[in-house]
Amino acid sequence: MNGRCERFIQTIKLECLGKFIVFGKRYLDYLVTEFVDYYNTARSSIVRGHLLPVHYEGPDDVPTLSLSMRLR
């Protein structure tokens, strides 16, 4: 878990905070909120086959077992 947190902190520093001059906590909160929203909804992941981090799988997307597969 610690490695994932460190990776996210590195990502937000490189992709977001390094590109802005932050004047105050309120502006920093705004930047972080916007980046987290982008990170969780629009930024794709190579590890997950270019899926979004928050990926909705509807009932049609989830594979179901057929009767022949259940009997094995």
Domain ranges for the chain, please list them.
2-57
Structure tokens at 64: 């179901």
Local confidence pLDDT in tens for the 72 residues of the chain: 788 888 888 989 998 999 999 999 999 999 999 998 888 777 766 666 666 666 565 666 556 666 555 555
Residue listed under structure tokens 């905070």: 17
Q: What is this structure's pTM?
A: 0.58
